[in-house]
Amino acid sequence: MKAFIIDRYGKNETGRVADMPEPEVGDDDVLIQIHAASVNALDMKIMSGEFKMILPYRLPLIMGNDVAGMVVRVGARVRNFKPGDEVYARPDDDRIGTFAEFIAVKASSLALKPKNLSMVETASLPLVALTAWQVLVESAQLKKGQKVLIHAGSGGVGTIAIQLAKHLGAFVATTTGTSNVEWVKALGADVVIDYKKQDFATVLRDYDVVLNSLGTDELNKSLQILKPGGHLISISGPPTPAFAKARGLAWPLQQVLRLLSFGIRGKVKKKAGAYTFVFMRADGAQLREITALVESGAIRPVVDKVFAFQDIREALTYVDAGRAKGKVGIRMM
């Protein structure tokens, strides 16, 4: 099958299209013919080698973390999917590879595609929607009337997190650039901080939850607007000892992550708050919850641009430049 692969890690790795063997289908797996995929910032981080210590992939590696397509075959123990079903998923992080013609995914990571979306729209959702769910619903347990700051509101995670937080009844603030202010307001944000003109740390106060997807400066400044007992959640690091332990990382690496997050954990503790690092995981049950929200109209995907399979390099460059509003789709067929 045709697939987009990398042969090595590195900042200058651009990847290539190659012929790869079709995936093997285990007893608990579903083989999917891929109709669409989408690009995530995570793709560039994997290509550069940023995650090779915690995600030790075997090279050459088929890239891609989001899939929408049709079931071709199911494993012997699979009962809830059948050939012909239209499905979507974020594969388990040790089994990525959606920039290809086929992929085998655990049935437990899969859900039926929302009926009101195209394949490309559907493929834009899994990673970012699961991230938003696992931050706001699972980790923060966000409640009606609480205040949440969602950084980078025009990004892939931000566009979905704003909509999910509003559905949960929260008061939502977000940050974005000048050209996106009105556009992000239309997604449901109550307060929009134009980071080119304002410092969010001087405008906002007493927030229950902050979702950080940016750098160390924004992470530390977010402490200033967090109320005592609030919850600071980062999807961009630094990872915590709890994360390292949950992933079963080697003891020396656990100590490295303990040191990396020591400063921010200590600062949050002084405010009687909590700091959590979230690295999203595949979860078909949560995707079914997300499907229901999409079909009800509570959440709508945001697709900035769509590229053909042969133009994946261009799509990766576009996302890496930080120009995308929402997600960038890949039409595989």
Q: Are strands 102-106 and 29-39 parallel, antiparallel or unpaired?
A: antiparallel
Q: What pLDDT does residue 172 have? A: 98
Q: What pLDDT does residue 285 have? A: 98
Strand partners, 232: 210, 275
Q: What pLDDT does residue 234 have? A: 97
Superfamily (CATH H level) for 128-277: NAD(P)-binding Rossmann-like Domain (3.40.50.720)
Please list the helix, strand and coil fractions of the chain in percent, rounded to the nearest 5, in that order.
35, 25, 40
Q: What pLDDT does residue 53 have? A: 82
DSSP result, 74-135: E-TT--S--TT-EEEE---TTS---SBSEEEEEGGGEEEPPTTS-HHHHHTSHHHHHHHHII
Length of the chain: 333
Residue range 2-125+301-331 forms a domain whose CATH class is alpha beta
Q: What pLDDT does residue 56 have? A: 84
Q: What pLDDT does residue 12 have? A: 86
| Per-residue model confidence as pLDDT tens digits over 264-298 | 999 999 989 999 999 999 999 999 999 999 999 99
| Per-residue model confidence as pLDDT tens digits over 199-210 | 999 999 999 999
Tell me the two tokens of residue 140: 């923060």
Q: What pLDDT does residue 9 have? A: 95
Tell me the two tokens of residue 263: 């400063």
User: How would you write the pLDDT of the chain (333 residues) with one tens digit per residue?
Assistant: 999 999 999 988 889 999 999 999 999 999 999 999 999 999 999 999 988 888 889 999 999 999 999 999 999 999 999 999 999 999 999 999 999 999 999 999 999 999 999 999 999 999 999 999 999 999 999 999 999 999 999 999 999 999 999 999 999 999 999 999 999 999 999 999 999 999 999 999 999 999 999 999 999 999 999 999 999 999 998 999 989 888 888 888 889 889 989 999 999 999 899 999 999 999 999 999 999 999 999 999 999 999 999 999 999 999 999 879 999 999 998
* Delimiting residues of CATH 3.90.180.10 domain(s) in the chain: 2-125+301-331
Q: What pLDDT does residue 72 have? A: 98
Tell me the two tokens of residue 36: 């669409």
* Delimiting residues of CATH 3.40.50.720 domain(s) in the chain: 128-277
Q: What pLDDT does residue 64 have? A: 98
Q: What pLDDT does residue 267 have? A: 93
Say what angle helices 41-48 and 312-320 make with each other, to 10 degrees: 100
Q: What pLDDT does residue 129 have? A: 98
